[in-house]
Each structure stands twice: as structure tokens, then as C-alpha cells.
């Protein structure tokens, strides 16, 4: 849970460079002391692949889930991506996200894409989602989101995310902060019944480890 909260706090505290909006279509660890005469051994590290040598991620090789929590003024969350393919790939830019009702129709919200300078290239290793009491594990990339002022009683039970650069579409499901499946997504409070409900989606970034 702490990993997720840190991720959304970092996003919500940052000032976006620009926002493009479009209307939706419808305990401590113990250590043993080694003798002073022992020679320390280095732990080998897997080198980080060069993003330029990797292909862009395509929808069929990715799985996506989303989770969130109510913040002070808005519902803060993220879409998490795992690479179920056979090799690392890259994501960059802004995904497009649509929240779907039980009948498959999009929720009536304004969709906003938040951008800021040159998009970061995120290397997505081959990975698998894991349930974890400390927070969903196994994500290779995230796309944070912020949702405000929702006054409808129709909840989102699924979502569809479209990858940039013709990467394709992924149908995703919702989980709680520990990675357990849930039937519906949370929603922000209703602040203005006559106002617009806005869902802002941020660019891809590496998950907080």
C-alpha cells in the first residue's frame, strides 16, 4: 500500500506542464555479523536494457489493472502494466483511458491527458502481477490518474486503455491496493452536481519500488 500511496502522492504534488481535455463519447530485518576475515562478495546485477534496442510494447503482450484511493480533493489512482510477453519492451507518452459501466458504455466524464516536456521512455521487463499486503507487486510501468467531481451513481466495472503510437487497446480490470480483484472502481465525491467530472491521466512512468 505504501508503494502505491507514494506513487500517487508524487503525481498529485507535481504541476503538469499542460492538460489536453476531450469529452468522453457517451518490522526490522535481522542481520548476522560475518567474521572480519571474510572477503565480501558482490551481488551481481542484471544490466538495464538500452531502450533504443527494444521494441515498443504492443497491447497483446501487456496486462493492465487499475486501483485507487480517495484523497483530500480527488480520487487518486493508477493503471498498472505487466509484460506477459517473452522479452522487455518500452512504453512512452500518454495512454488514453475510458472507464466502462456494466453495460459496456463509457462513463460520462471529461477525459484529460496531462503532458510535460519530452515523454520518458519506460522499459517494461517481463513481469507478472502479484498480490502483496504492502501493495500490488510485479508492475513494469504505471500511468497515474486523478479523478474529480463525480455525481452519477453508475460505477465503473472495467476500463479500456489505448496505447500511444498505434500500440493497440487493452481491456483491464480493477483491484484493491493489495492487488486483489474488486467488482467496481472507486469514485470521487460529488462536489458540484452541475459541474463536469474530470479524469486526468498522466504519462507512463516506472513504478515506485
The answer on pLDDT for 173 being more than 60 is: yes
Name the percent of the chain lying above pLDDT 90: 69
Which of residues 209 and 168 earns the better pLDDT score? 168
**Which pLDDT tens digit goes with each residue over 1-53?**
445 444 454 444 443 445 555 544 443 333 333 344 454 555 455 566 778 78
- Using alpha carbons only, give the angle 38, 39, 42 rounded to the nearest 5 degrees: 130
**pLDDT at position 117:** 74
- Using alpha carbons only, give the angle 105, 199, 91 rounded to the nearest 5 degrees: 95
Binned at pLDDT 50, 70 and 90, residue 64 comes out as very high
**pLDDT at position 48:** 65
**pLDDT at position 14:** 44
Q: Phi and psi (nearest 5°) for 11?
A: -70, -45
Cα–Cα distance, 120 to 49 (Å, whole number): 15
**pLDDT at position 41:** 52
Cα–Cα distance, 199 to 152 (Å, whole number): 14
pTM: 0.79
User: Helix H segments across the chain?
Assistant: 2-13
Query: Of 25-34, 56-65, 147-156, 182-191, which range is least confident?
Result: 25-34
Paired residues of 141 in beta bridges: 81
Which H or E run contains 11?
Answer: helix 2-13
Reported in sequence order, the residue ranges of 39-157 that DSSP labels E, i.e. its strands, are 62-70, 75-83, 89-91, 96-100, 110-115, 122-124, 141-148
**Which pLDDT tens digit goes with each residue over 138-172?**
999 999 999 999 999 999 999 999 999 899 999 99
Task: Answer whether 135's CB lies under 8 Å from 178's CB.
Answer: yes
**pLDDT at position 155:** 96
If one counts every other C-beta atom within 10 angstroms of the C-beta of residue 137, the result is 18
Amino acid at each position: 500500500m505504501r508503494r502505491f500511496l507514494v506513487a500517487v502522492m508524487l503525481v498529485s504534488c507535481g504541476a503538469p506542464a499542460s492538460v489536453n481535455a476531450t469529452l468522453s463519447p457517451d518490522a526490522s530485518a535481522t542481520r548476522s555479523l560475518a567474521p572480519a576475515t571474510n572477503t565480501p562478495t558482490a551481488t551481481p546485477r542484471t544490466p538495464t536494457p538500452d531502450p533504443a534496442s527494444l521494441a515498443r510494447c504492443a497491447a497483446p503482450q501487456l496486462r493492465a489493472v487499475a486501483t485507487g484511493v480517495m484523497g483530500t480533493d480527488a480520487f487518486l489512482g493508477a493503471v498498472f502494466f505487466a509484460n506477459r510477453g517473452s522479452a522487455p519492451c518500452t512504453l512512452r507518452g500518454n495512454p488514453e483511458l475510458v472507464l466502462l459501466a456494466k453495460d459496456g458504455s463509457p462513463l460520462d466524464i471529461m477525459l484529460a491527458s496531462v503532458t510535460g516536456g519530452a515523454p520518458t521512455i519506460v522499459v517494461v521487463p517481463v513481469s507478472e502481477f502479484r498480490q502483496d499486503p504492502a501493495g500490488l507487486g510485479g508492475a513494469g510501468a504505471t500511468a497515474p490518474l486523478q479523478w474529480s467531481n463525480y455525481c452519477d451513481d453508475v460505477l465503473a466495472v472495467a476500463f479500456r486503455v489505448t496505447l500511444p503510437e498505434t500500440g493497440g487497446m487493452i481491456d483491464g480490470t480493477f483491484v484493491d491496493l493489495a492487488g486483489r480483484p474488486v467488482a467496481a472502481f472507486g469514485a470521487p465525491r460529488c462536489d458540484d452536481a452541475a459541474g463536469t467530472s474530470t479524469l486526468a491521466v498522466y504519462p507512463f512512468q516506472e513504478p515506485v519500488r
